[in-house]
């Protein structure tokens, strides 16, 4: 085990490493959540994760508009 000055330096180095890891993790979650939203409504530009949700959204929010081609199946 390190003693004295070595111990203090090791603790400071570890604290900086932990802070950097925590900061990096926060932004990764945001980018991962954004990447999961793959479909964008043509009428209101709202983003949805899957075609089923997109179709439900379109039927409920935009009933007068024609159904987009990607939802006609």
Report the distance separating Cα 40 and Cα 21, nearest Å: 32
Measure the CA–CA gap between 36 and 31, rounded to whole angstroms: 9
Q: Which helix (H) or strand (E) holds 40?
A: strand 39-40
Which token pair is 69? 């081609």
Query: Is the pTM higher than 0.75?
Result: no
pLDDT (tens place) for every residue of the chain, 73 residues total:
568 899 999 999 999 999 888 877 666 777 888 888 999 999 999 999 999 999 999 999 999 999 998 888 6
């Amino acid at each position: 085990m390190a003693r004295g000055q070595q111990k203090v330096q090791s603790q400071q180095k570890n604290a900086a490493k932990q802070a950097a890891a925590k900061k990096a993790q926060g932004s990764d979650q945001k980018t991962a959540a954004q990447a999961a939203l793959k479909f964008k409504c043509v009428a209101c530009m709202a983003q949805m994760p899957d075609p089923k949700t997109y179709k439900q959204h379109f039927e409920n929010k935009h009933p007068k508009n024609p159904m987009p081609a990607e939802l006609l199946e």
